[in-house]
Structure 1
Amino acid sequence: MKSILAFETPKEAVEYEIITKELMAKLKDYQQVLEQHYQLTTIPKGVLWTTAELVTTTFSSIPIPAFTREDIIYISPILKEWQNLLVSQLDGKAIPHIKSFYENFSTDQLFVILAHELTHHIDLFVDEFEDERHDSIWFEEGMCFYLPRKYCLTEEQFKEITAIEQELVNTFTEDYGQNDLNDFGSMSYQGSLSSIMFDYWRSYLKVKSLLEKLDGDIHGVFILYKKWHEQGRETSLVQYFEDIIK
């Protein structure tokens, strides 16, 4: 997989060369996990590293500086940009310990976002990039966070980010809890940053909850997900899991 530095000045490219090489080396190890266990058969051609401004205005209109297309992953390697963005998602709410966590957002957490984007490419997800996706994007997004967090973070880091996102869901439920998780999709990106992230937080927590009920059987959850699809998606995926996993 190519590592492509796409900055507006040579100085910026040099400044972020070290962190991008470090992240690409870690990504190669995680790629092997996906290839061996989760049917990653076609990898993207490269990772395009650039600024948050270029990711969100030139390469896309999504207000989050990381996304994947069929051939390329686009992402900012600039920790300060991520720190500022993730603090801003709190909408000024008085949760200082979470604000402090995001102000100190680490390379390990940035790597999870990069690995999240690669996880989208595994063949276990039934929808293709060009498909009009509905009813199940929450499952894909949640699993794309669960897998890299489970494989690439320490147990302490895993518990910390889980606790933080659970608290954030609790904090923002009054604002956005009426939104149907099954509707998570392209329309989600038209809301505020906190409303967008609310869907990501609860998607991850929903997937984690499903796995806890199935004793951590990741492939078992994927088997149920595929069965739901092959049976014609007769109910929403949320309802399907609720009916099967009591």
Structure 2
Amino acid sequence: MKQIYAFETIEEITSFKEITDELYSKLESYKKLLEAEYALTEEPKGIFWTSEELATSVFSDIPIPAFTNKDLIYMSPDINKWRRLFISQLEGVSVPEIRKFYESYSSNQLLVILAHELTHHSDLFLDDFGDERTDSIWFEEGMCFYLPRKILLSNVEFTEITAVESELVKIFEDKYGNHSLDDFGGSSYKGTLTSIMYDYWRSYLAVKELVEDKAAGDIKVVFEKYHQWHKQGRTLPLTQFFHAEFM
């Protein structure tokens, strides 16, 4: 993968060079593990480093400055902007411990976001980038967070981010939780930042439960069930299929 820089000033490129090189270097070992264990057969052509503003207003209209397509991963390396973004998703709710967590959001957590985008390129996911991806996007998005968090974070970091997102799901359930996980799709990205992130939080938590509680920690068993659902014609919503399979 090549590193490509798209900023409005030379000074921005220079100021982010250290963190982009660090993230790129750390991603390499994770990429090798995906290749060996999780069917990453064709990596994207490059990482397109850019600013939060350009990522969300020029290259995309999604309010999250990290996304991927068939050829490129787009991502802002500005950790301070990520911290402010995550604090804004709290919508002014007073949760001092969660706010403190996001105020000190680490480069290791930022690496997980980058690794999340790379994980989308695994051939274990059944829908192509051009597909509508409306009936199982929660599984792919949740797994794309679960895998890098489980692999790249320490046990303390993993427990901490899981606790934060579990609490956020509880806080915003009445406001944003009135639809099935199976409805997570293209229309989800037309909501507010928090409504979008709500579906990411609970997708991650749903996959974590599948792997750790239902499949005794065996990620590959969960993928096998997912492929079975596809081969049988997707006759049930994926949430119902998994429930039936793991009863």
User: TM-score, structure 1 length as denominator?
Assistant: 0.99
Mapped to 2, the partners of 1:179 and 1:131 lie a distance apart of 22
Shift of 1:219: 0.5
Partner of 1:27: 27
Check the 8 A contact 2:132/2:186 in 1, yes or no. no
SS of the equivalent of 1:35 reads helix
Shift of 1:134: 1.6
Partner of 1:171: 171
Identity %: 57
Partner of 1:41: 41
Partner of 2:135: 135
**Match status 1:4 vs 2:4:** yes
Mapped to 2, the partners of 1:203 and 1:176 lie a distance apart of 13
Mapped to 2, the partners of 1:168 and 1:132 lie a distance apart of 28
Unaligned runs of at least 5 residues, structure 1? none
User: TM-score, structure 2 length as denominator?
Assistant: 0.99
Partner of 2:16: 16
**1:1-246 alignment to 2 at 5 Å?**
1-212=1-212, 213-246=214-247
SS of the equivalent of 2:115 reads helix
Shift of 1:114: 0.1
Mapped to 1, the partners of 2:189 and 2:130 lie a distance apart of 18
Shift of 1:49: 0.5
Mapped to 1, the partners of 2:53 and 2:134 lie a distance apart of 28
Mapped to 2, the partners of 1:17 and 1:194 lie a distance apart of 30
Mapped to 2, the partners of 1:19 and 1:176 lie a distance apart of 34
Shift of 1:23: 0.3
Mapped to 2, the partners of 1:126 and 1:162 lie a distance apart of 26
Off by >3 Å, runs of 4+ in structure 1: none
Unaligned runs of at least 5 residues, structure 2? none
Mapped to 1, the partners of 2:113 and 2:220 lie a distance apart of 22
Shift of 1:232: 0.4
Range with greater deviation from structure 2 (116-125 or 131-140): 131-140
Between the two proteins, the alignment pairs up a number of residues equal to: 246
Deviation digits for residues 20-45 of structure 1, max 9, x if unmatched? 00000011110001000000000000
Amino acid at match of 1:140: E
Amino acid at match of 1:48: F
Shift of 1:135: 1.2
